[in-house]
Amino acid sequence: MRQGGSSKSSFPLAPTRSFAGLLFVLAAIWYAASSQNNAASYLLLFALMSVFLVSIPRTLLNLGGLQATAESIKPAFAGQEVSLPVEVTNESRATRYGIALTLPDLGDAGEHIDEIPAGKAARTVLRFPAATRGEHQIGRLHLTSVYPLGFLQVLKQLSTPQRYVVYPKPAGDQRLPAETARSGQRSSRRELGEGDDFAGVRAYVRGESQRHIDWKAVARGQALMTKQFTAESDGMLYLDLAAVQLDDLEARLSQLALWVIEAERARRPYGLRLPAAEIPPSLGESHLHGCLHALALFQ
């Protein structure tokens, strides 16, 4: 999903740090020129002033016609980096130079794009740390530029409706529960889904993982079929928040996240039981992300 940012208007020009330096140099030249009555120095003063003045419209217009679109963001674990792919399109008829992208709400993350020719686009990836678990909003995206002389900074503020999810940081030192929650007579039931034992084929549904497509059948000219496996569930592994013996909620969620990953790696079908929701046991990437997502959003 791609979403375009909409721009907000606020006064776009601000002096940079080197502007103070410029003022100081101008004052020094003025003082020297007037105390010596030195026409050549006056000329230098006016040249510097005029070049600065002429650079204002250039800086001001350097972001004209620029549109930034943020693309969808992959979830990340807390403590890791979130990557936000951004495409900056130059819809104006002039090349734009020296554009910086920053996320003011998310620390000092930033990227530089040196040049975007007229009518072209450039892509870059903004990286910023995923601080806390949960679903967050990107908030503002700032396009800034100090081109050409660096004395003034022009700002274009875009708000991106983009949201991203941060999973709890997988951590904890408790072992993955070996004991499974058996529930009486259902003990011998075999779960269809992703497991180790081949159980037959069924018609392929778009969007499913291609890993289990029966490619040999395809080669024989048959339709796409998905191989089905069953996991030997000598019992179901239910990861229960209430069962984690820790005081801190975040630590418990972190422990659950670690277990989910470990179970997936061990290919033991696992389910998740939270006070408000329950995810039945299964295996696979989408199941993994579903569980982590639930952990991330847990209130």
Binding site for other proteins (CB under 8 A): 1-4, 17-18, 21-22, 24-25, 28-29, 31-32, 34-44, 46-51, 53-58, 60-61, 64-65, 91-94, 97-98, 100, 102, 108-115, 118, 124, 146-150
Query: Which CB atom, from 49 or from 181, has the smaller least distance to other proteins?
Result: 49
Question: Can you read off the two tokens belonging to residue 71?
Answer: 């693309």
Least separation in angstroms between residue 209's CB and other proteins is 24
Paired residues of 153 in beta bridges: 14
Nearer CB in complex with other proteins: 47/266: 47
Closest contact distance (angstroms) between CB of 19 and other proteins is 10
Which residue's CB is nearer to other proteins, number 1 or number 203?
A: 1
Query: Judged by CB, which is closer to other proteins: 61, or 171?
Result: 61
- Which residue number, 44 or 288, has a Cβ lying nearer to other proteins? 44
Residue 73 CB, nearest approach to other proteins (Å):
15
Write down the least CB distance from residue 95 to other proteins, Å.
9
Which lies closer to other proteins via its Cβ, residue 4 or residue 134? Answer: 4
Q: Position of tokens 């003990």?
A: 187
Q: Compute the least distance from the CB of residue 162 to other proteins, in Å.
A: 11
Query: Judged by CB, which is closer to other proteins: 33, or 225?
Result: 33
Closest CA to 126 of 69, 64, 168: 69
Residue 10 or 37: the one with the smaller Cβ distance to other proteins is 37
CB of 111 to other proteins, least distance (A): 6
Tokens of 27: 């004052």
Calpha distance 5→10 (Å, rounded): 15
* Distance in Å, CB of 215 to other proteins, minimum: 33
CA distance 168 to 170: 6
Closest CB 258 distance from other proteins, rounded Å: 32
